[in-house]
Chain A
Amino acid sequence: MLYDITHRTTYGYGSDVAVSHHLAHLRPRQLPAQQVDDFQLLVEPTSAVSAERVDYYGNTTTFFSIGSPHDCLTVTARSRVRVAAPASPAPSDTLAWQLVRDRCASDVLTPDSAVGEFRFESPNIARRSIFADYAALSFVQDRPLLEAIVDFNARIFQDFKFDPRATTVATPVDEVFKKRRGVCQDFAHLAIACLRSLGLPARYVSGYLETLPPPGKARLIGADASHAWYSVWCPDYGWIDADPTNNLLPGDRHITVAWGRDFSDVSPLRGIVVGGSGHSLGVSVDVARVAEG
């Protein structure tokens, strides 16, 4: 599937900002099942410095600064991305989840312990027994990992209500768990916290979702915003994506931009401004399928 994606972020400031620094995770990743044909990042006002590099997780980041006074900022990312559905193993063919846990905990560096990075606490994720207990209903003894994940995803989908007003970008997982409400970012964080509390490696994925509102059918949640889901490590196979917000395993309608331990590693646009009292924020995302001849 081929997509044209436009992701525009607009800041308005109450008074002039003297200088601002930003860090963007906006360029989609190049992956076996995802090819980036084109990417442009437009910053207005024009930035003084712009440096693109690959971060610790392999994401492409752009650092830019604006050194002259400005009272608004618009960052527009345009991507053309080709996505194929990744091949997935049959859930019943995957390893029992405890085996996965033990293999990833090895003191020796192996492909499985190398992803140990994603087993531990991170800035937005704490490991807690309440999370482990919640997940344990799906992760029963000897259950193949992916079977457990499918079941676990369905439970989050059932138990938690999508509610953009319930949380903000800074709401901790504990609160989401208590309120049973949130948005895609919260559900991804929650799922990751549960899996890590069991000792399984799980990472946060930030990206986009194509929304199809065919007549008579419900529109998929997550439209017109950036989307987030998670990945779990499956030995001998690799990372498998799971989207708890929509209760599915992503196919060719999820576009991967970046991954990390949690949102704080891959925030699409972070910024620090000097001056500028208060700010307003507008984000628009458009994911359009491109018809191919």
Chain B
Amino acid sequence: MTSPPVTSVVPSPSGVWAAYHPRAEVFDEMRAADGTVRPHWLPLVQGLERLGREGVRERAESALQLLREHGVTYNVHADGESAERRWELDVLPQIIDAAEWAQLEAGLIQRTKLLNLVLADIYGPQQLLQEGLLPPALLHANPGFLRCCHGIRPPGGLFLSLHAVDLTRAPNGRWWVLSDRTQAPSGVGYALENRAILSRVLPEEFRAAQVQRLASFFRQRKAGLRALAPWTSAPNIVLLTPGTYAETYFEHAYLARFLGYQLVEGSDLTVRDQCVFLKTLEGLQRVDVIIRRVDDTWCDPLELRGDSLLGVPGLVEAARAGNVAISNALGTGAVETTALLAFLPALSRHLLNEELRIPNVATWWCGQQSERDFALGALNKLVTKRAFVGGHGEPSFGGRLGARELEDLAAHIRANPHAYVTQESVALSTAPVWHGNAPEPRPLIMRCYICATVDGFTVMPGALTRVSPSAESPIVSSRYGGGSKDTWVRSSAPTGSAAAVESTAPALRPEVSASHVPSRVVENLFWLGRYAERLEDTTRLLRTALGRLAGEGGPTEEVELTALARWLARTEILDARFADEFTPAELASELRELVFERNRFGTVRELLGRVGFLANNVRDRLSGDTWRILNQLQTDFPATMSRATPGAILHTLHRLIFQLAAFSGMEMENMTRGHAWRFLDIGRRLERAINLVSNVRAVLAADTDGTALAPLLEYTDSTMTYRRRYLARPEMPTTLALLINDVSNPRSLVFQLEILGHHLAALPGADGTRPEQIHFEDLMALLRETDAQDFATQGVLGRARLATRLDEFYEATGQLSDLLTASYFSHVPARVS
């Protein structure tokens, strides 16, 4: 092995590194025991020296800014509450030297091969039990061993096509394996995102360090996935997510977009004739490969956990028939058990004829008598973990437990010994983490990824390095906070002239045909369109009112405000009491609540939440810019404004309307005109039509002298059009003509309906006879024979007839929404037993 000559640069004590003092008894990734900087860290260390404290802090801020913009999150579930947590990324990367990495690579590939062989045996002949290499109880007590998957040989015999290994470095500098992730390894998307951000934040350092790029790993992963379905030359590959509540949903959506695969939920898939299909607007589309991020036992409610709503009924049967490849194969959780670690050295010799290249952290499984006896005698020095997948609870660090806690732990182990495994307590290596305005040493665990290629395995030249939340804490887990690091693997040869910034735009060939949209996705987009429009509508209405409250309060404002309050009380936006007497202070307080109250139906805040939720559901369908706007909508909105003046609230609403305009502009300009866009726009148009009818109807009923017409025109953004056209004070007949029948006014009813008509005719299966099309034609016919101006000039009788018409429109637009739902959106499976 060749390592670069050791250049001993002792950082100047006054610089960025002045206060960096790793503990002598652990290995520090950056600083050797003699205080020198390890050579492979020099480009970074020197770069940061040049930047200085202030410079590094600025870079750290811009990293944070990018994370915010990209909306990188991790869902944390605690005490039944779910919270979205921002992903934390340290501005300093972990760095690995090329020669050392080459050794790790060989060891990691060996491990993936080995676990594949173990899986092939336990789901097949179980020779390893007969030959005494695995104790029978390791399988028998293992809930990750799926009995119904015994005998299933996955396509190509490949069980693990993606494998993650958590590594830790001991004080002597050797890497050790802590654990394996085998069923649905997470983190590879976060590693990619970390790289995207850090390569932008530290471009010079990144270039100087000649860091190996990640892109080729993903290209090979894609080729490997294609090879899983040898029965077709163009396999349809989907990524199965448990949904937006999953801890790592951000990653699922991110990876689906990056790799160019459909992101699907269990209810999007269906099994027919032992094959898996995606339910799309056009009908069923065969699925060949499923990348699953759903844990083993939740994948099929028919043969696995019956209470799972995340799975696909019949999936096990489809896998058994060999009609679908799953990455990773069902049942791979069986080797995720830490208990297996103790047996791997012997298994490696037996199955591969090789010594295990990367040793395991010393592990004692309590399911064996002598190991249990040893563990019980040394609990205070060991780390105790649940042995199998699905085991609850976090590791217990014996050294941190009191006498009573140790006794309790021992009692649990004695009662159910097979469920526990103990490991040597390892002094994790440390690396510099930027904290405040200086680096401090923190313990780390490095998660590496191995994937199947067309003809073997390859290792991602990088890793997801996680650090503990404080210098003292031994716990390294995303669940408990703590941050992550990009991991730079140095190249032994120059990486060439490639641009420093690694692109995260879908650089890879997209494989999703735009037209094949899962029904669930279009349903979410439809509602996103509706709620975004409802949010804008509500904001406009409230702004119209607040504008009159915030001003100096001349006589015009006062009468308009009264008329407006009567109208809004009728549409039930305002409480009914505002139809009569009220003070400006009462109205101001009510309006403030309608903007900021989280727990009231239909407030701006509540609608923002719905828009955010729906956008998150279809995150993989939205462009990066669109997502940024939607994300900003949420973050810019003030949490509380209990003392805000009407003027300040008005300002908030103005900004919101700008941002919503940016969203709809993005949608009009940047979204492919597929069914996804179409349903988003259908939702928007339908909602706008419904709101318009509802408000015009209320004005007609509440306002007899025309004082509400100016606010009505303002709310519909039609004031200028009206003025230019009629050069006069608003009159009822002409105002109604502009809002109902004017085909050139983009806010008019007829404008919305005409666009809806085009959309409906372009939907799959639209042949003019579908119920929603017939219904729509009736609605259009009714509108054509409704000349609002004409009705409005016919006195009381005409206005009454117009009111009836508006009622009919209101009813009919609502029904159209129901018909679309029945025609196009998915059904959720139910269970019988």
Contact = CB atoms under 8 A, between A and B. Distances in A.
Given A117-B140, A120-B141, A265-B147, A107 B135 contact: yes
A264 interface: yes
B306 A273 contact: no
B137 A271 contact: no
A48 B313 CA distance: 15
A212 B87 CA distance: 68
A21 to B, nearest CB: 4
Using C-beta atoms within 8 Å of the partner chain, give the interface range for chain B. Answer: 35 or more
Contacts of A129: 415
Contacts of B137: 105, 107, 113, 116, 119-120
Residue from A109, A121, A277 with most neighbouring chain B CB atoms (10 Å) = A109
Nearest to B279: A274
A272 B827 contact: no
A107 to B, nearest CB: 4
Contacts of B129: 109
A108 B368 CA distance: 11
A51 interface: yes
A275 B302 contact: no
Interface stretch (A55-63, A82-90, A148-156): A55-63
A248 interface: no
A113 B136 contact: yes
Interface string B135-160: 11100110100011011000000000
A256 interface: no
A267 B136 contact: no
Interface string B767-783: 00000000000000000
Contacts of B151: 56
A45 interface: no
A55 B316 CA distance: 12
A23 interface: yes
A275 B827 contact: yes
Contact of B832 (A51, A120, A279): A279
A19 B272 contact: yes
A111 to B, nearest CB: 11
Contacts of A114: 136
A143 interface: no
A282 to B, nearest CB: 12
Nearest to A127: B416
A229 to B, nearest CB: 20
A129 B137 CA distance: 20
Given A11-B832, A19-B272, A109-B136, A271 B302 contact: yes
B148 A273 contact: no
Contacts of A222: none
A256 B540 CA distance: 71
Most A-side CB within 10 Å, residue of B129, B135, B833? B833
B270 interface: yes
A288 interface: no
Contact of A127 (B150, B302, B317, B415): B415
Given A272-B829, A274-B827, A275-B827, A57 B147 contact: yes
A24 to B, nearest CB: 11
A250 interface: no
Contacts of A121: 141, 143, 416
Interface in A224-276: 261, 264-265, 267, 269-276
B418 interface: yes
B208 interface: no
Q: How large is the interface on A (under 10, 10 to 19, 20 to 34, 35 or more residues)?
A: 35 or more
Interface in A83-129: 105-109, 113-114, 116-117, 119-121, 123, 127, 129
B314 A65 contact: yes
Contacts of A218: none
Given A56-B150, A116-B137, A273 B832 contact: yes
A225 to B, nearest CB: 15
B314 A270 contact: no
B829 A270 contact: no
A272 B416 CA distance: 34
B271 A65 contact: yes
B833 A169 contact: yes
A129 B411 CA distance: 11
A272 B301 contact: yes
Nearest to A274: B829
Contacts of B416: 121, 127
A261 B141 CA distance: 11
A51 B130 contact: no
Nearest to A280: B832
B136 A116 contact: yes
B135 to A, nearest CB: 4
A117 B142 CA distance: 9
A56 B314 CA distance: 17
A291 interface: no
Given A109-B132, A270-B306, A272-B302, A281 B832 contact: yes
B830 interface: yes
A178 to B, nearest CB: 20
B136 A273 contact: no
Interface in B362-416: 368-369, 415-416
A274 B270 contact: yes
Contacts of A265: 147
Nearest to B311: A272
A48 B273 contact: yes
A108 B831 CA distance: 41
A31 interface: no
A19 B826 CA distance: 13
A278 B789 CA distance: 51
A272 to B, nearest CB: 4
Contacts of A123: 305
Interface centre among B129, B132, B313 (most CB of A within 10 A): B313
A270 B140 contact: no
Nearest to A116: B140
B313 A272 contact: yes
Contacts of B320: 53
A22 B827 CA distance: 18
A275 B271 CA distance: 15
Given A11-B832, A48-B273, A63-B317, A270 B302 contact: yes
B645 interface: no
A277 B828 CA distance: 10
Interface string A127-141: 101000000000000
Contacts of A172: none
Contacts of A56: 147-148, 150-151
B274 A272 contact: no
B97 interface: no
B303 interface: yes
Given A21-B302, A56-B147, A107-B137, A270 B274 contact: no
Interface in A20-34: 21-23
A237 to B, nearest CB: 20
B279 to A, nearest CB: 10
Which of B132, B274, B302, B320 has the most chain A CB atoms closer than 10 A to its own CB?
A: B302
A67 B272 contact: yes
Contacts of B833: 169, 267, 269-271
Contact of B274 (A49, A264, A269): A49
- Between B130, B132, B314, B368, the greatest number of chain A beta carbons within 10 A of the residue's beta carbon is seen for B314
A19 B369 CA distance: 50
A221 interface: no
Given A19-B270, A23-B303, A65-B271, A108 B132 contact: yes
23 contacts: A19-B270, A21-B314, A22-B302, A49-B273, A57-B147, A65-B271, A107-B369, A108-B132, A109-B132, A117-B140, A119-B140, A119-B141, A120-B137, A121-B141, A129-B415, A261-B147, A267-B833, A270-B833, A271-B302, A271-B832, A273-B830, A274-B827, A274-B830
Given A57-B147, A120-B140, A281-B832, 7 more contacts: A67-B273, A108-B135, A116-B141, A119-B137, A121-B143, A272-B301, A274-B827
- The 9 A-B pairs of least Cβ separation, nearest first, read A272-B313, A56-B147, A116-B140, A107-B135, A120-B141, A21-B314, A274-B829, A117-B140, A21-B313
